Amino acid sequence: MSQLVDPEKKKALRARLARIEGQLRGVQRLLDEDADCEQIAQQLAAARKALDKSFFNMVGCMIEQGGQSGAHVAAMLSKFA
């Protein structure tokens, strides 16, 4: 197992997740306001892409930190991506 140890990268990931959390609150608000389904779908897609980007940034940090074999990283990507 590896951990995200770089404080700056951890801070950046937490900030990104906070923005995604805000996006999801916005989606909930759209639902409460009976917004158009296409508008809701657009915001859900944006949140999903933001989560995907966060995931791949985290994987990049794992690779930079070392200690994980290429096979392990590939297996993780295959399992979670």
Percent of the chain at pLDDT > 90 equals 56
Taking only the tens place, the pLDDT of each residue in 64-80 is 887 788 888 888 888 98
The DSSP result for 5-36, as a single string, is --HHHHHHHHHHHHHHHHHHHHHHHHHHTT--
Tell me the two tokens of residue 26.
Answer: 């916005």
* pLDDT tens by residue, 38-63: 999 999 999 999 999 999 988 888 88
Tell me how far apart the alpha carbons of residues 7 and 44 are, in angstroms, rounded to a whole number: 29
Q: Is the pLDDT of residue 1 over 70?
A: no
- Domains of the chain plus CATH, in order, are 7-80 (1.20.58.1000)
